Structure 1
Amino acid sequence: MANTTAVTRGRDSSPAPGHRRNKKGRPARASGMPAWSIPYVLLIPGLLVIAGLLLYPMYQLGVMSFQKVGLAQIRGTKPAEWLGLENYEKILGNDIFWSALRNTVMFAVVAVSLTLIVGTAVGVLLHRLGRKMSLFVIVGCMFAWAVPPVAQGVIWRSLFDAESGIVNWALNLLPDWLAAPPAGQSSWTGTPWLNDAFPLYVALVVCVVWAGFPFIAVSVLAGLKGIPNELYEAARVDGSGAWRTFRKITLPLLKPVFAVLTILSIIWDFKVFSQLYVLMNGPTNRDGFNLSMYAVAEAFKAPQKLGTGAAISVVLTIILLIITVVYVRQIVKQEEM
């Protein structure tokens, strides 16, 4: 009996066919590869694609920012000239760079805030609607989010058109005490909204918020679906109002969702280009430049200075990395507390 037990134990302790144990006692595959290393090996194809499509172009951009690259260098008739930090000194000493940086930051702050506020409000509304009506509103909202950026700019440029835009037409319908025409004009027709920097960025904010809030709304709705209804029922029993319930229950439980949405919105709005290009009708108004528009104007407007444009792009990338790292660190600290 004892011998039978010993034999059984010996059979149970033996590895399964096709498997063996490595020196540390961990199970290994028949190929000799440890089981813990398989996920890392599977990541290699994705990392190679990222390196080819993202990291290598970023490396080339960084190298170009230290060089003098123009039309002759692109054609290959002249080699690129190494300038060191001259491109960076040139842009940092230019008033247009600081004006573009101010426009970029102020626009991002306003656009990100309004997009999150409007998207959250719509997400809460969708959560309270019936299933069919909620689906109908979601489909309608996602049509706006699916519109390409260039088409968004075309739509809102037509709405703010000085002669035939709906904005001027609607303002003409209002009484003068509510919306008086500008001094020297008998009506709002002919008002050039997109010629000056401030009304241009008002139109850009409206355009970006209109196209961006559906994604926020659907993401918030998905987060709300995961909150137990018992929490809201308990809050109603305790006499908690709608705002207090949102602040004490919904907002804390959706913090991870809002963290991701805020980071994505900051990245998207900091590098807005297509909508601004269409609204501005090209890089024509230097007062309305953001960093993306300034980089394109330096790189592709004659005479082409691709090195200077690359330097501006590198500065914009560094700013986004700093903002992202600081924001993520704050989130991690709050989670640890």
Structure 2
Amino acid sequence: MTNTSTIARGGGNLPAPERSSKRSRRQAKPSGLPGWVIPYVLIVPGLLVIAGLLLYPLIQMIIISFQKVGLRQIRGVPADWVGGDNYTQVLDNEIFWSSLRNTVLFAVVTVTLTLVLGTAVGTLLNKLSKRMSALVIVGIMSAWAVPPVAQGVIWRWLFDADAGMINWGLNLLPDWFSEMLFGRSDWTGEPWLNDPLSLYIALIVCVVWASFPFIAVSVLAGLKGIPSELYEAARVDGSGAWRTFRKITLPLLKPVFSVLTILSIIWNFKVFSQLYVLMNGPTNREAFNLSMFSFAEAFRSPPKMGTGAAIAVILTVLLLIVTAVYIRQIVKTEEL
């Protein structure tokens, strides 16, 4: 009975369901597009968003850098093309070279401190228990989540000459210890944010405080991927902690450190918000970095947006060169 009913339902033709499934699969295929084109079509919306948010402003910045744009142009007067005059004025300006020096030195010191501190904290987190590690991660990531302007406000208050906790804490040190370390014992009213050197010390502390948590968590993620058998074998061979780090941890985390170094260089080269808040605006020309110099030229009276755009283009080119050289060195090392 079962065979008879089955044949009856299929109309005496058993392969019919197979043919219908093949026909439905053929109908489900998109018409007119080869299979290899579909992934590229799907990423077109993302590329359009990137072009609108990044590429278009970049092109406009390059165009403005070859124009004279001031108050008259803001009111609607067409901009005049000046060719490379904006770049000539920038390169002939002493403030540009002092700003470039400040930018490079700040980036070198900050990137180094951020990577060293972040790696140390990431290694420590890897040694802690899961519960304690999660607690510490939440704590340090709270600093990383603070917006740049808020970071500047926090550290401007801490380094305040009259009510800042930095001066208060230094005054708590024993006089002999403070004299031995700093050559002075009284820190009342110390104007940290007026002198370029002490201002950049405050800026370095501010940026490192907010940046090292990201490095630490990234290093922790890389350490979780290293097999524990390698460390056990190193301990059996009598390898110390520093030797184990150099021979096992550092080589295996090299891709992670490469990416983190590039990101840190880019972020620290274009620091602006924290410096603006600590400096209370573009007031001290000796403490300018390239971002602050570009802002001051473009928006401080009288506004010279063409010159400011030229400085921004130079900063962008410098970042591209530094990143390209670093990536090339990484590729060469991988090939060797």
Match of residue 151 from structure 2: 152
Match of residue 39 from structure 2: 39
Match of residue 5 from structure 1: none
2:178 aligned counterpart, secondary structure? coil
- Scaled by the length of structure 2, the TM-score of the pair is 0.90
CA distance in 2, matches of 1:29, 1:164: 71
Answer yes or no: is 1:302 the counterpart of 2:301: yes
After superposition, where does 1:10-159 map in structure 2 within 5 Å? 17=23, 29-76=29-76, 78-159=77-158
2:177 aligned counterpart, secondary structure? coil
- From the superposition, tell whether residues 61 and 201 of structure 1 become closer, same or farther in structure 2 (CA, over 3 Å): same
- From the superposition, tell whether residues 186 and 237 of structure 1 become closer, same or farther in structure 2 (CA, over 3 Å): closer
After superposition, where does 1:191-210 map in structure 2 within 5 Å? 191-210=190-209
Match of residue 270 from structure 1: 269
Identity %: 73
Amino acid in structure 1 at the alignment position of 2:258: A
Answer yes or no: is 1:217 the counterpart of 2:228: no
Amino acid in structure 2 at the alignment position of 1:131: K
**Deviation readout 1:21-73 (Å, 9 max, x if unpaired):** xxxxxxx9541322222211111111111111110110000000000001221
2:303 aligned counterpart, secondary structure? coil
Stretch deviating more after TM superposition (307-316 or 185-194): 185-194
CA distance in 1, matches of 2:54, 2:182: 49
CA distance in 2, matches of 1:202, 1:141: 21
Match of residue 243 from structure 1: 242
Shift in Å, 1:18? 6.6
Amino acid in structure 2 at the alignment position of 1:272: V
Amino acid in structure 1 at the alignment position of 2:152: G
Match of residue 24 from structure 1: none
CA distance in 1, matches of 2:167, 2:193: 12
Amino acid in structure 2 at the alignment position of 1:50: I
Amino acid in structure 1 at the alignment position of 2:304: K
CA distance in 1, matches of 2:146, 2:58: 28
Match of residue 175 from structure 1: 174
**Deviation readout 1:119-178 (Å, 9 max, x if unpaired):** 000000000000000000000000000001011001111111111111111111122222
Conserved 8 A contact 2:120-2:216: yes
Stretch deviating more after TM superposition (324-333 or 309-318): 324-333
Shift in Å, 1:182? 8.7
CA distance in 2, matches of 1:272, 1:17: 60
Unaligned 5+ residue runs, structure 2?
A: 1-21
Amino acid in structure 2 at the alignment position of 1:73: Q
Conserved 8 A contact 1:149-1:275: yes
Match of residue 328 from structure 2: 329
- Scaled by the length of structure 1, the TM-score of the pair is 0.90
Match of residue 17 from structure 2: none
Shift in Å, 1:332? 1.1
CA distance in 1, matches of 2:247, 2:320: 32
CA RMSD of the aligned region, Å? 1.9
Amino acid in structure 2 at the alignment position of 1:37: V
Amino acid in structure 2 at the alignment position of 1:96: I
**Deviation readout 1:156-208 (Å, 9 max, x if unpaired):** 1111111111111111112222224999x982111111101101000000000
Shift in Å, 1:236? 0.6
Conserved 8 A contact 1:115-1:209: yes
Amino acid in structure 2 at the alignment position of 1:90: Q
2:176 aligned counterpart, secondary structure? coil
**Deviation readout 1:77-123 (Å, 9 max, x if unpaired):** x2101100000000000000000000000000000000000000000
Amino acid in structure 1 at the alignment position of 2:140: C
Conserved 8 A contact 1:124-1:220: yes
Match of residue 232 from structure 1: 231
CA distance in 2, matches of 1:223, 1:61: 38
Unaligned 5+ residue runs, structure 1?
A: 1-15, 21-27
